Structure 1
Amino acid sequence: MVRLQSFATLAGRVFLFLLLTTVPTLAQLDLSQAKLYLSAPEGPLPARARQVLVEEVSARTGLTFRSVSKVSAKGDNLVILALEENVSSLPKPFQAQYAALPEIRKDGFKLFANRELKTVVIVGKDARGLLYGVGRFLRKAELSGGKVIFPDAGFALATSPAYPIRGHQLGYRPKTNSYDAFTVAQFDQYIRELALFGANSIEILPPNTDDDATSRHMKVPALEMVKEQSRISQSYGLDVWMWYPNLEKNYSDPETIRKGLAEREEVFRSVSKLNALFAPGGDPGDLEPDELFKWMGQVAVALQKYHPEAKIWISPQSFRPDKPWFDAFFDHVNKGYPWLGGIVFGPWVKVPIEEIRARVKPGIPIRNYPDITHSLACQYPVPDWDKAWAVTLGREAVNPRPYDQKHFHNAVAPYCTGSISYSEGTNDDLNKFIWSDQDWDPKTDVTETLMDYSRLFFGPQFAYRGAEGLKGLEENSRGNLLGKVTVAQTFRQWQAMEKEADNRTLAQARFQMGLIRAYFDHYTAERLVYETELQRRAIEKLEGATRGDVDRAVTEAAAILESAWKSPVRPELRKRCFDLADSLYRSIGAQLTVSKHGAMPGRGNFIDNIQFPLNDAPWLLAQLERISALSQAEAKLKEIRLLTARTDPGPGGFYDHLASPESRHRIVANASWAEDPGSLRSPRTGFGLSLPGTEWYKTIPEIGARVPLVPANWNNQIEVLYDNPLKVRYDNLEKNARYRMRVVYTGRFKSHIKLVGDGGVRIHDAIKVGEQPVYEFDIPAEVTRDGKAEFTWTCETAERGVQVAEIWLLKTN
């Protein structure tokens, strides 16, 4: 699927390039001297749309549209803003053009140009629609250097959103990788820009969540910023949601209820607008459905005291996802509480969306809550990610994934009434705009969104090249990194734009995010080649060791491996990444390192991982240190042979690192990634280690990183979620041979897992994973007698799932 998608992407690029270079330029409208006319009732929202247009044009061109109080049909150079109810006051040519376009619905707009009258007209179905029309104008216009050019004098568009909920979560708390450093003005601008791409909802967080209420980066106290976020959203006519988790353990206790309601009343009273409250059923929070719904009924009273029309939405997110819990949850949902607005589908919801839609009454809406911010250990991890990306970029790096995001959206959207994304900062910035465009119209081509994004934020000269550069960053993450030529190509694209960009563009955070990924990706690819070769040379040195020179071989092999950090490759690329990290901290408070930028560990600080080893050097060096301590040369040689032949299964045996492309054919999947991108029915690649004790880890001072002293393959597993079985099939075993399985259980899940063979033949009973990584078991003869075997792993009910890293089938007879 990924390869076909990549090919299709390449074909699309070629087609678009040919189209742009062979089709004659369309007639343009020069609006640089245009005047601005607003035809709408007096009110703050139409005036806000006009203000947005004037300010955004001025910021990019230095020009200021001068407002006029009347309009004629004499060929004046104009930009006209109007509401549908006021179209009849416009000159007849504009009325006729308006009437010729299809009708629009709530939040919709019509945008058209009149070549003869040198005018662009933007008409909103309502005040919010007018703002979205202004956004589309700004996205399509070429704004730079004292010029306002509308590229198509025959442009005509009538459009309305496909989904009524279109928004993003902007949490002001330390766990985010940048929002806690925003000023009020930065939130205003960010919310405005989201609205330019059709967002109509902003989800804010209360001061008290599963995170601290303060951070060293905060410019104002949390409650004060929550008030401002609500006020700003209201000023643009946007809906305001609030994510409010239930953190207490016992909501049947009168004192807990009193404190909880008092805390919530203070927050509800503080915000000027609140349309909906979203209470997750878990992550965080851990309530039984009976207690959850009773408590939310009490919260609803407090909420509607200050916001009478507000509703409460609840998600079936639960870390104990057993059948009774879900049965009780859906029973409550279907009772039709008057305060219940709907339910939310998001991360760690075990039940597939189509099943949820079937279990709740048709009139109860479902809101999507997609995780667009994480790359691994999440709802939508990058499929088949290379280990090099997992250990460097990690979970929360800058992660432009435009094609993936469109796929995630369209897989779930038919069951939902729209989406408000889960975000932990600006690292997912591009993904927000993809989701907004898809919520507006799921048929929107990704290229159109990327070109609009690049044109508006980078400048019109980068519309096409910026779009291609962003596509390239996503392409970098597909498949094996070693030997992937597109990484260098994408780097050259961004470097060329960097050289051409003016100071305003270079200071633009979105441009900086693209640059830092391009430099980081290229540096990582260069390191992978270098460190792979170092390991090959070190292994070759060890394999050639003899009794007379074993100590020298060990010393030289260790020196070769240590070259990765003592003589690093391409240090200038690494330095540029740190410089860009500093630039992003200055521009938007992005926290890409812990010590310098004050990031929360594991939350966006991927620059801290920039030198994390990309080979087995830490483990090999630990083994060489152990071998050096042996007193006999023969013992050293024996251990070296075992070391260099670690994955060798011996004659007639098999070795599989299940997450590697070479072994994926053994995994039995019920659905493809395209069919099940959230892996609720099928296996996926997992990353992570959680080994007991400090002896498994060591800090390498030269790179400032704490690294595991285990083979790199242990950090990469195949996994299934919840009670799905993991099935692995072997079809080419020797008939009637006996086998012993060596298996490595690593990963983040601490489940109790058991293993059976064909026909349910027991191989091992439930083992609590995490206490040791390597196990061995004899395979009963009846499992492999016919030369085939299917092994099935399962975990206990309500646990997170199963993770298996490596398997050896060792022939024992």
Structure 2
Amino acid sequence: MFKQRTFLLLIAVLGGMLTTYAQSLSLKNATILVSPSVPVPMRETAPKVFTEEINKRTQLLLKPATAWPKTGVTVAMALSSDRELFGKALPARKAGDAAETRAEGFRVVVDGQTLWIIGADARGVLFGTGWVLRHLEMSAGNALLAPTTDVATSPAYPIRGHQLGYRHTANSYDAWTVGQFDQYFRELAIFGTNAVEGIPFHEDEKPNPHFKIPASEMRVKMGELCQQYDLDYWVWTPVTFELTDADKRAAELRLHEEFYKKCPRLDHIFVPGGDPGDNHPKLVLPFLKDLHQLLTKYHPKAKVWVSLQGFSVEQTDYFYRYLAENSPDWLQGVVSGPGSPPMAETRFRLPKKYQHRQYPDITHNVRCEFPVRGWDQAYALTLGREASNPRPYAFSEIHQTYAPFTDGFVSYSDGCHDDVNKVVWSMRGWNPTMDVREIMTDYTRFFFGKTATESAADGIAALENNWKGSLVQNGGVEATFAFWKGLETANPALKNNWRWQMLLLRANYDTYTRRRLVYEQSLEKQANGVLSQASELGTEKAMNEALTLVNRADQQNCAPELRQKIEQLCADLFTSIGLQTSVKKHNAKGYERGCVLDFVDYPLNNRWWLADEFKKVSTLPSEEAKKVRLKEIATWENPGIGSFYDDVSSVAKGPRVKTISEDATDVAWWEDGFSRTRLSAQLFQKCPELEYDNLQMDARYIVRVVGSGEALLRVDGRRLEPITYSREPNGVKEWIVPLTLTQDGKLHVTFDEPEESHLNWRKQSKISDVWLLKQ
């Protein structure tokens, strides 16, 4: 009986699967019919994209047709303004639903044996084609779509673009061929992108070992690709010289005009007010007017934009006063990027006739506009600014926060490592309420196939969660690694897929970093134990033994197989997409530009700092002085019962710190990231806030701070006078806490911000370590 029931259940399951398969619309022998009203070149581009992307994944070759076939499935591409296509009426619109008639909108509907892709315009046809490609279930020999498909949609925001800079600063784009850009433009369009921004003229003179063609040629090729895919072509053109220099100003205008003549398509010129640039708007605005005059000679509908980045209050006021008095028609709008006034304020002050575009930084992890909040120091010191950084849920929230003040965005990107983020911004720009996991399943279905769709989408979310909270305490990192390892084993065909490689690199790198962190900090704890016995061992012996312990990390790798895998994946990514993860191996522009391979073994304990400190200790005048200093080092993070230590920028070692740095983990980036200073000194805050409770009410406490520059301490709102105050780098400052302030068993420690606006941020005051020491 049991066997019979099992057999019947199996038959039922297989029957259901076969029924579903049979009911789906199969494109196996489909033909493509395109309305002659679809504008050129989209009349050729849309069916080409559709045919080629299906062929890559299924080996099917859909055939073009010029009339309705007698039998079989037809993919019909038309405009919503068409009443019929070669004698066959278009499907009736849904009552009250006119999405396919709005700019860039489309409708996708299965009507019997016909798959209709109906666009409001040329772009609508392309975006409708992209929707189908994202939702087809493709496998060798077949492409299936649900027979009940009937979707009509149009974008919420008219500007949805990404900056793709062919320059050495980028960690991958500079190594791309025209064909690679072509494919990437296509893939971005499939996910709803309608604009691409190039970067600047002045890269031409800079030597680049990766360029396949000169930058001047690639800029024109990008214009041709935008024409092919009907994408707006933006160019970011900073003014890096003083506009008061008439000769340079004239030369810059000639440079622009030469480019305008050559470029087959150009829609927008964006001149940042600052970052880079340092000109007053009274000079910038006339220059923009001259640019517009030249621009419209060759591209009559092209627009000019400006950002207020780096503008002072006086300069910002001047700008708005100019708009109020002159109402220039040559200006299209304002761009808000890092260093701009708040976006809500900009939209409020900006006259309605002008558009407002966001310039979000989706490419960096630290020292940026949208840093990873509470990022573990180990990641900050090894993954740095431009690692593979899928942050779908974080960036969905960020988009939701700022988008309502804008007409859309063109993101700042310096490499393909932020590919997931680009798709999230494009899709949320189309539909701000679209479920994030739905975006990720669209992404994984299209790029990885049906066998990995759900699991890879969950794996991307898991990678984002790897970056939350203390790395040591995040046991999910190991689970994420095991998950991705299983995915890799189950999907060997994806081995050469660069997006797959990028995600695998993160899974391996995160795990390797966590294992190293646990291992290397354990060695340091042992070394501190040895230093605590300096009185018995003698200072020289204690230092030698401690150094031997911490340096064991260099002799005995805790996860050699992971280290080898990271090396291999970095090599694979350099081959597949030109990703430069090393200065020495890949000729990256600089260590800050995504060179994760160069930092894969950067110390996660203080062995470099200890080696340097021990040399200083050896020069002290007496054995007693040496013992005192070694005790300070040994008890740095463990000052004893009743005392407290906080590494102010560490989510693991700063439990009493209530503030979050403006820049997440502020890595000072000394010596190209290879600083030998104590790890805590490389990460800091300006004005941390700390709270203490359960203090001994009759005990005397001292606040000790290590940092540089000023530390204007307040305890429970009261400014205290220091007893020790060194402004030198890693200098010590101390204050005695009055007994009256600890009578309730609590303390609230804050710091006033010193006036240092005249200083570069690297020279401004910093606080890295704070102690409350019970005497």
> Could you tell me the TM-score, scaled by structure 1's length?
0.85
> Is the contact made by 2:375 and 2:651 (CA closer than 8 Å) also made in structure 1?
no
Partner of residue 199, structure 1 = 193
Gapped runs of 5+ residues in structure 2? 1-15
Corresponding position: 1:28 with 2:53: no
What is the Cα deviation at residue 128 of structure 1?
Answer: 0.7
> Is the contact made by 2:703 and 2:737 (CA closer than 8 Å) also made in structure 1?
no
What is the Cα deviation at residue 291 of structure 1?
Answer: 1.8
Of 440, 455, 471, which residue of structure 1 is paired with 2:461? 471
Of 430, 439, 452, which residue of structure 1 is paired with 2:420? 430
Of 139, 146, 157, which residue of structure 2 is paired with 1:144? 139
Distance (Å, rounded) in 1 between the aligned partners of 2:583 and 2:390: 22
Corresponding position: 1:302 with 2:265: no
Amino acid of the residue matched to residue 461 of structure 2? K
Of 272, 277, 298, which residue of structure 2 is paired with 1:285? 277
Distance (Å, rounded) in 2 between the aligned partners of 1:448 and 1:808: 47
Change (3 A) 1:667 1:40: farther
Corresponding position: 1:712 with 2:679: yes
Of 42, 58, 62, which residue of structure 2 is paired with 1:65? 62
> Is the contact made by 1:473 and 1:518 (CA closer than 8 Å) also made in structure 2?
yes
Amino acid of the residue matched to residue 714 of structure 1? A
> Is the contact made by 1:173 and 1:212 (CA closer than 8 Å) also made in structure 2?
no
Corresponding position: 1:807 with 2:770: yes
Amino acid of the residue matched to residue 595 of structure 2? N
**Residues 228-265 of structure 1 deviation map (CA, whole Å, 9 limit, x = unaligned):** 001101111111111000100x2122212211211221
> Is the contact made by 1:727 and 1:793 (CA closer than 8 Å) also made in structure 2?
no
Of 312, 323, 328, which residue of structure 1 is paired with 2:318? 328
Partner of residue 37, structure 1 = 33
**Residues 66-113 of structure 1 deviation map (CA, whole Å, 9 limit, x = unaligned):** 1122226x7631221111122423676752367795443110110112
Gapped runs of 5+ residues in structure 1? 1-20, 674-681, 692-696, 698-704, 720-724
Aligned residues, how many? 746
Distance (Å, rounded) in 2 between the aligned partners of 1:583 and 1:690: 28
Corresponding position: 1:112 with 2:109: yes
Partner of residue 167, structure 1 = 161
Partner of residue 7, structure 1 = none
> Is the contact made by 1:561 and 1:617 (CA closer than 8 Å) also made in structure 2?
yes
Return 800-809 or 357-366, whichever deviates more: 800-809
Amino acid of the residue matched to residue 704 of structure 2? R
Partner of residue 76, structure 1 = 72
> Could you tell me the TM-score, scaled by structure 2's length?
0.89
Corresponding position: 1:380 with 2:370: yes
Amino acid of the residue matched to residue 56 of structure 1? E
Partner of residue 597, structure 1 = 586
Q: For 1:179-578, what aligned pairs fall within 5 Å after superposition? A: 179-208=173-202, 213-248=206-241, 250-318=242-310, 322-335=312-325, 336-349=327-340, 351-503=341-493, 505-548=494-537, 550-578=539-567
Partner of residue 743, structure 1 = 705
Corresponding position: 1:583 with 2:545: no
Return 375-384 or 613-622, whichever deviates more: 613-622
Partner of residue 154, structure 1 = 148
> Is the contact made by 2:376 and 2:651 (CA closer than 8 Å) also made in structure 1?
no
What is the Cα deviation at residue 57 of structure 1?
Answer: 1.1
Q: Secondary structure at the match of 1:312?
A: strand
Distance (Å, rounded) in 1 between the aligned partners of 2:41 and 2:488: 40
Distance (Å, rounded) in 2 between the aligned partners of 1:627 and 1:495: 47
Q: Secondary structure at the match of 1:188?
A: helix
**Residues 354-374 of structure 1 deviation map (CA, whole Å, 9 limit, x = unaligned):** 122222223322101000000
Change (3 A) 1:752 1:460: same
What is the Cα deviation at residue 130 of structure 1?
Answer: 0.3
Change (3 A) 1:314 1:779: farther
Distance (Å, rounded) in 2 between the aligned partners of 1:225 and 1:494: 37
Amino acid of the residue matched to residue 593 of structure 1? S
> Is the contact made by 1:742 and 1:809 (CA closer than 8 Å) also made in structure 2?
yes
> Is the contact made by 1:736 and 1:781 (CA closer than 8 Å) also made in structure 2?
no
What is the Cα deviation at residue 783 of structure 1?
Answer: 10
Amino acid of the residue matched to residue 53 of structure 1? F
Distance (Å, rounded) in 1 between the aligned partners of 2:697 and 2:535: 39
> Is the contact made by 2:712 and 2:719 (CA closer than 8 Å) also made in structure 1?
no
> Is the contact made by 1:491 and 1:519 (CA closer than 8 Å) also made in structure 2?
yes
> Is the contact made by 1:516 and 1:581 (CA closer than 8 Å) also made in structure 2?
yes
Q: For 1:668-707, what aligned pairs fall within 5 Å after superposition? A: 683=662, 685-689=664-668, 707=674
Q: Secondary structure at the match of 1:398?
A: coil
Q: Secondary structure at the match of 2:255?
A: helix
Distance (Å, rounded) in 1 between the aligned partners of 2:533 and 2:526: 11
> Is the contact made by 2:78 and 2:85 (CA closer than 8 Å) also made in structure 1?
no
The percent of aligned pairs where both chains have the same amino acid is: 36
Distance (Å, rounded) in 2 between the aligned partners of 1:757 and 1:158: 60
Q: Secondary structure at the match of 2:685?
A: strand
Q: Secondary structure at the match of 1:471?
A: helix
Distance (Å, rounded) in 1 between the aligned partners of 2:757 and 2:513: 40
Change (3 A) 1:739 1:768: closer
Return 796-805 or 409-418, whichever deviates more: 796-805
Of 731, 736, 739, which residue of structure 2 is paired with 1:774? 731
> Is the contact made by 1:166 and 1:199 (CA closer than 8 Å) also made in structure 2?
yes
**Residues 571-599 of structure 1 deviation map (CA, whole Å, 9 limit, x = unaligned):** 12111111111111111111111111111
Distance (Å, rounded) in 2 between the aligned partners of 1:790 and 1:487: 34
> Is the contact made by 2:67 and 2:86 (CA closer than 8 Å) also made in structure 1?
no
Amino acid of the residue matched to residue 280 of structure 2? E
What is the Cα deviation at residue 299 of structure 1?
Answer: 2.2
Partner of residue 11, structure 2 = none
Q: Secondary structure at the match of 1:228?
A: helix
Change (3 A) 1:32 1:768: farther
Change (3 A) 1:363 1:798: farther
**Residues 603-655 of structure 1 deviation map (CA, whole Å, 9 limit, x = unaligned):** 11111100011122222233334445668654543332121112456786543
